[in-house]
Amino acid sequence: ATVVSADAEFNRWVLQAEGRGLFAGSCPTSIAEIMGRQSMLALVGDAHREMRSIAVAFLGGGTSGGLRRRSRFFATVERQAAKVLNSWNDRVCHGSVGAAASFSAHKEAKNCNGEAFDKHGGGNGRGEAAEQGVRHLHAGNGITASRAKILSLIGQKLDERIKQKLQENKLLKEAEKAAEEEEEGGGDLLDLVLKHQNLTREQILDLVLSMLFAGHETSSAAIALAIYFLQDVHMMCEEKKMRKQNINLKEEHTRIAKIKEERGEKQLNWDDYKQMQFTHCVIAETLRLGNIVKFLHRRAIKNVQYKGYDIPCGWELVPIISAEHLDPSIYDDPQSYNPWRWQVSSN
């Protein structure tokens, strides 16, 4: 039997109970076969937190290494975005109304994300690791074949890194040089993961694979939805003559670009990102209404009681986490896309 919950309080309780021996991850077999049984999607509790901390450390933290990795990642994302936008010039037909070539925002976002994730995730920088795996799956070659295709690409790179470290005798001196390497902030995600010598080969592959595959799909979907939603809100602002009363996305980025030009700076950096306050509102509202990840999979591993209700051992749980995002008691007019709501409330 399966318990499907849209109750925010119960869903939070289920997630907080992870690691206490009440619930275990129960993602569909197909997902586990694609991402791996040691991926963040399949793990719960302390195991999930450990893998997540490694992933967050890649671009997070206040260390000089984290700052350097962020700087390189920002530069890559900016180059890829510019590359995708510039490619549209050849597809625009000037001089005739309605003759402009159409395109898929979701596909274009994948083109941008694929190479950025692949380059910094340990691939060859051309987006092959995630894109070829997805293409392999869509071609009808099956889940197992798709996973094998991606793992072969990542595994080859992993073997190269391990071989290189052995040749340079770095594995024996890892502890001595850890502080120095962190200071330098060198390497990509795969290099960072290899510093955790307690991880097995399966854990390393599944972690990198899940970030390449899941990040490739979810980020591109979020970008496509943002474009779709922003078109609607632009029309709404025009109709209600709100544009002069509210800052919009274009105004914010134009202001930041002007400041950078005055300073003689070109590439985006972390400080620029922190100044994009309305952009953060747009991101938050896109994630709220878009609900890229709508629910989770859990299974009771013992008999559980919650407020007088019994959940027998072995029952499946599906917490619908998107329900809270569309709750009218939390958000005014929750079905409407309104990024300004995040400016007036911190809830």
Does some domain include residue 87?
A: yes
Mean pLDDT calculated for residue range 56-68: 71
Does some domain include residue 222?
A: no
Does some domain include residue 150?
A: yes
pLDDT band at 287 (very low <50, low <70, confident <90, very high): very high
Q: How do residues 128-168 score in pLDDT, each as one tens digit?
A: 444 544 444 444 444 445 555 555 655 565 556 555 544 54
| Average per-residue pLDDT for the chain | 74
Which of 66-80, 153-167, 179-193, 256-270 has the least mean pLDDT?
153-167
Other beta carbons within 10 angstroms of residue 287's beta carbon come to 16
Task: Say how far apart CA 158 and CA 22 lie, in whole Å.
Answer: 36
Q: How far is CA 92 from the centre of its chain?
A: 30
In this predicted model, which residue has the larger pLDDT, 128 or 49? 49
Mean pLDDT is highest, among 100-114, 232-246, 315-329, for 315-329
Q: Is the pLDDT of residue 79 over 80?
A: yes
- Contact at 8 Å (CB) between 268 and 296? no
Does some domain include residue 334?
A: no
In this predicted model, which residue has the larger pLDDT, 64 or 16? 16
pTM over 0.85: no
- Contact at 8 Å (CB) between 265 and 75? no
Q: Is the pLDDT of residue 321 over 80?
A: yes
The range of the structural domain enclosing residue 79 comes to 44-205
Mean pLDDT calculated for residue range 51-75: 76
pLDDT of residue 98: 47
Does some domain include residue 276?
A: no
Helices (H), 60-142: 64-87, 105-121, 128-136
- Contact at 8 Å (CB) between 325 and 47? no
pLDDT of residue 147: 52
Q: Which residues contact 261 (CB under 8 A, 6 or more apart)?
A: none
Q: Is the pLDDT of residue 23 over 60?
A: yes
- Contact at 8 Å (CB) between 24 and 315? no
pLDDT of residue 315: 94
Annotate 2-28 with b (16+ C-beta within 10 A) or e (fewer): ebebbebebbebbeebbeeebbbbbbe
- Contact at 8 Å (CB) between 123 and 152? no
Does some domain include residue 323?
A: no
Task: Say how far apart CA 129 and CA 202 lie, in whole Å.
Answer: 17
pLDDT of residue 207: 82
How many domains would you assign to the chain? 1
Look at residue 76 and give its three-state secondary structure.
Answer: helix
Does some domain include residue 233?
A: no
Does some domain include residue 120?
A: yes
